[in-house]
Amino acid sequence: MLSPIDDKEIAVLRDWRHKLHQFPEVSGEEVETAREVVSFLSDTQPDQVITELGGHGVALVYEGEQSGPAVLLRCELDALQIQEISDLPYKSRNDGKAHMCGHDGHMTMMAAVARQLHRQRPLRGRAILLFQPAEETAHGAEAVIADPKFASIKPDYAFAIHNMPGLPLGHIAVAPGQITCASMGLCIKLTGKVSHASVPEAGISPAMAVSRIIAALQRLQAGETVEPGFRRLTVTGVEMGKRVFGITPGNAEIRITLRTPESDAIMGLLEETLDMARKIAAEERLTLDYSTHNFFRACVNDNDAAAIFDNAVDRMALSRVTDYLPIRGAEDFGLFGSCSKSALLFIGSGMDHPMVHNPDYDFPDVLIPHGAGIFLGVLDQLLGSTHQKPTETLKTS
């Protein structure tokens, strides 16, 4: 059985998490973060190190002595384009970029697993620790799976853990079936004609159309809880005209996030939204163009994989929340379900903890041993473990 993580090790991991927090990189730019991962974990002596996987992704592979399943554990490399608001001594040094989703903590959980695998190799099969790029833009999982290098480590099982404010600290939410919604970004561009502000009738302003479209979005929504028929449309940004007072606007852009429980249903909601917007644009004498972005498929937990998570949680005697799932949020981890038995688990960051994607969020360090322990419990069930080596000195920074 894989041994628990001691207090000295937790202190080393906490310091490394703080280092990652200071140097965040956003999706597609995780060059230095990937290098730091490889550097920090190189002395755990993985049997294989795969870099530039699906972009800047890193996979560390630890082989067992006997044949067995391939088990992938996944965390994320990327941060967000958010200006951190905090007085933390380890606050972000990269202006306008910050780890406001806890990916620094998720990487640290994974580093704890890597360090333990150095001391106790799998008995059978292979453990694959994936540090995935570009989760926040929904491109990372797809790019990793499409990368030819992924074929050599294609897993039988895949597991991921995400921290979640609004859940009691250290409490677990996991279940078979649907876990997250599908999500898609929609950008609607309206084009008219500018005019002098004294003669607005000489132009074609998109102002009324923007107002009408935003109002109509509310009528397309349905439900408050994630169940069949649930639909959520959220305006995330509007741009129109310039910061002047003598010219009417000639164009506008509305950015919207669409959410549905099922991945397929989001396409129907997209068409309804576009039909509505086109009708309004035509009535206001405007042309309409659109683009879609960041398509996250719904995460649906495999029954067997969810049961393995359940057993790992039971081994650690962690408390559970049973009426939390599925959530409205989205995660690109769901795509791993297309090539493996996969499951996503949420671990609580605290009821009153700032929400992820907020500028005052910070990952709770107390979750590091909990998340790592759950991952180690998963590996122990599927791969077993060899006897622990005598204590060896690993990197501390």
Binding residues for Mn(2+): 101, 103, 136, 162, 357
Q: Which residue has the tokens 């981890």?
A: 333
Nearest to 348 by CA among 327, 378, 333: 327
Question: What is the distance of C-alpha 209 from the center of its chain?
Answer: 34
Burial class (CB in 10 A: 0-12, 13-18, 19+), 246: exposed
Question: What is the distance of C-alpha 92 from the center of its chain?
Answer: 19
Bridge partners, 291 (sequence order): 187
What whole-number distance in Å separates Cα of residue 314 and Cα of residue 318?
6
What whole-number distance in Å separates Cα of residue 47 and Cα of residue 61?
6
Q: Which residue has the tokens 């509305």?
A: 254
What whole-number distance in Å separates Cα of residue 292 and Cα of residue 278?
15
Helix (H) or strand (E) holding 189: strand 182-191
Token output for 22: 């200071």
Q: Which residues are annotated as a binding site?
A: 101, 103, 136, 162, 357
Token output for 363: 């990952």
What whole-number distance in Å separates Cα of residue 166 and Cα of residue 103?
17
